[in-house]
Amino acid sequence: MANFTITKVLDGDDVWGRKRIEHVVLQPAVSDYPTGGYLLQGISGSTESTGNVGLGKVSYAWPCGGQGGYVPVWAPSSSRVQVFRQNGTTGPLIEVPASTDLSAYAFNLLVLGTS
């Protein structure tokens, strides 16, 4: 199981219509990248250690830029943040392999959901 942490950014919350938004930072642990990406969960039945972003239900997550050539991408069908990198010098982006060490990077996310 991945041991990544989610930290809310101070004053990073807002309300958009009937939805809430949270600005969070996903900080990977050493060599913890799970196949399929990091799971983001709402409050229902989860804890901070499993990726709780402080919302009842996560609807969307928008990564705010990449880091060091890595590109975080939200996969709504699995509620995961996948991390991609360049395949060679001109190839397509590919998902990083399981157990990749991304601990030197922090990924900013805007997470939209309900209370």
Give the structural domain span for 17. 5-114
Residues of the chain with pLDDT under 70: 1-2, 43-52, 66
Please give the structure tokens belonging to residue 13: 């919350």
**Where are the extended beta strands (E) located within 2-114?**
5-16, 19-27, 38-39, 57-63, 71-75, 80-86, 93-95, 107-114
The Cα 48–Cα 54 span in angstroms is: 8
Give the pLDDT confidence score for residue 1 in this predicted structure: 53
Q: Are 64 and 108 in contact (CB under 8 A)?
A: yes
Q: Count how many domains the chain has.
A: 1
Instruction: Give the predicted TM-score (pTM) of the model.
Output: 0.81
| Spatial distance between the Cα atoms of 33 and 72, rounded to a whole number of angstroms | 12
